[in-house]
Amino acid sequence: MDSGRLLFSIPVHEQPSVVRDQVENFLKFNSGSIVVLHVSRSFSKLALATSGLMRESEHVLINPVRLDTSAQGLLPVHLSSFSYALTKSAFSHFVIHSSNDMYVRSGLSDHLNGFDAAVRSMPAAGWTHADTALKHKWLQDAMGALGTTFCASTPEGTAYSKGLMTQMADYLQQVNPYEKATLPYPDEESILPMLASAWAKNRTTPITYSEVTMDAKPTPELIEQIRVGCYRPAPRTFYRGTEEQVPYDEVFAVKRVARAYDDPLRVYIRGLTP
């Protein structure tokens, strides 16, 4: 296992200049790591032909499988990217992101060292998508077979050790092949967190500040608190439950940064140094 190298999984679907900007940002703050891009089937062929996004390099992998991401449910995308990267590079942790995340602080690989997972697996009966998810027969059967409860976690900035992710991928691809729900829902927010709640021994929280979780957009002032390591949000409840948990132990990235190259927050982050 390469303890200093992370694998970042990002599904992308628009704006080649923004994708390049995001990749440069991830590698600037996580030197020596790898980004694996899943390019959505909906991404314009003309944009791809003129962007150079389909060319791999030492630190950028392009998943050759292009799935449709127009409907909710990105778990198959991340599984596919993990399986592809597993044949190409060595890494210690698999880190899930969306295409509007950006890093503002270095040191993530050291932070994750010793953790099986960075995930906030919380009981999710009150989750916005719970009613739809709990109609998913594959999920119902898996919970029964594993003896797990229904959990969810904000997906951006969740991370799984290579060993744990391999175990989860084997379960989802070989032991109990995953079947997407007829009614789509964000399965990347529930399936992996559910398995991690059962199998991960040492956990920390997700490492990406999310405006959805915190009900506030990231600002330069917040980013400066994150960069000096003094951002410490108070415990709160999740999914209308009663159990409180600290939202973040440590934060290294932020969401949401608009997918526009000249967006003021994106420009500000682009000027930061590790």
Distance CA 140, CA 120 (A): 21
Residue 42's pLDDT band (boundaries 50, 70, 90)?
confident
Tens digit of pLDDT for each residue in 71-120? 899 999 999 999 999 999 999 999 999 999 999 999 999 999 999 999 99
Mean pLDDT, to the nearest integer, of 171-198? 97
Tens digit of pLDDT for each residue in 115-170? 999 999 999 999 999 999 999 999 999 999 999 999 999 999 999 999 999 999 99
Confidence at residue 46, expressed as pLDDT on a 0 to 100 scale: 58
User: Quick one: CA torsion of 127, 132, 135, 136, rounded to 10 degrees?
Assistant: -90
Task: Give the β-pairing of 203-204 and 244-245.
Answer: unpaired
Q: What sign does the dihedral 74-78-79-80 (CA atoms) show? A: positive
Residue 14 vs residue 29, higher pLDDT: 29
The percentage of residues in the chain with a pLDDT greater than 90, rounded to a whole number, is: 90
Residue 50's pLDDT band (boundaries 50, 70, 90)?
low
Q: What is the mean pLDDT of the chain?
A: 94
User: pTM here?
Assistant: 0.95
What does the DSSP 8-state code read for residue 152? Answer: E
The percentage of residues in the chain with a pLDDT greater than 70, rounded to a whole number, is: 97
Mean pLDDT, to the nearest integer, of 178-194? 97
Residue 195 has pLDDT above 90, yes or no: yes
Residue 256 has pLDDT above 90, yes or no: yes
Confidence at residue 1, expressed as pLDDT on a 0 to 100 scale: 44
- One-letter amino acid of 240: R
Residue 41: is the preceding peptide bond cis (ω within 30°)?
no
Beta strands in 199-247 (DSSP E): 203-204, 208-210, 236-237, 244-245
